[in-house]
Amino acid sequence: MSFEPVYNEHSRALILGTWPSPKSREMAFYYGHPQNRFWPVLAALTGEPVPAREDIEAKKQIILRHGLALWDTLERCTITGAADASIKDAVPNDIAALLAKAPIEAVFCNGATAYRIYTKYLQPVSGIAAVKLPSTSPANAACRPEKLREIWGAALLPWINK
């Protein structure tokens, strides 16, 4: 099963990953791999300090203080390790339930697989076109941290509450 979504009544922009990696499942929270650049990128965009890897509450607060929401596209699937390409038996998350609780106006997908799953299963329900962002995964090493901050910033900064 996927993690619960992180959102509140101020969450206008939803960031979607694909499915928790083994390291994230071990940490019991999103983007738990020490080399994943998600939290450093988000910290840079929000002006927050980079949270400690094990500080789940600080990570939640970065999301919630800045009008964001965080979730994955899949409720469950069969996957080998952390390889998105190996995903089978995909069951999408219930985005309608989230949209009924949070005023989401924009969707951003962390990587091509999240985007592909969102556009296939979730966009027909949400009616919100997503923005595909380069993955923050360490497997996407070709995208340097500065480039990630630049691309993610161009897309997300208009939605981040300062």
pLDDT tens digits for range 68-86: 999 999 999 999 887 878 8
pLDDT attached to residue 154: 98
Q: Which spans in the chain are helix H?
A: 22-27, 38-46, 56-65, 95-99, 112-117, 123-126, 145-156
pLDDT attached to residue 1: 74
User: Confidence class of residue 162 from pLDDT cuts 50, 70 and 90?
Assistant: low
pTM of the model: 0.96
Number of helical (H) and strand (E) elements in the chain, helices listed first: 7, 6
Q: 69, 80 in Cβ contact below 8 A?
A: no
- Tokens 């949209």, located at residue: 99
By DSSP bridging, strand 74-78 and strand 88-92 are: antiparallel
3-state secondary structure of 130: strand
pLDDT attached to residue 41: 98
Q: Residue 95: pLDDT above 90?
A: yes
User: For a pLDDT cut of 70, what percent of the chain falls above it?
Assistant: 99
- Please name which of 122, 115, 17 lies closest in space to residue 63, comparing C-alpha atoms: 17
The larger pLDDT score, comparing residue 133 to residue 80, is at: 133
User: Confidence class of residue 98 from pLDDT cuts 50, 70 and 90?
Assistant: very high
What average pLDDT does this structure show over 6-12?
98
Q: 106, 13 in Cβ contact below 8 A?
A: yes
What average pLDDT does this structure show over 97-103?
97
Distant-in-sequence, close-in-space partners of 120: CB < 8 Å, separation ≥ 6: none
Q: Residue 108: pLDDT above 90?
A: yes
- Please name which of 61, 66, 88 lies closest in space to residue 77, comparing C-alpha atoms: 88
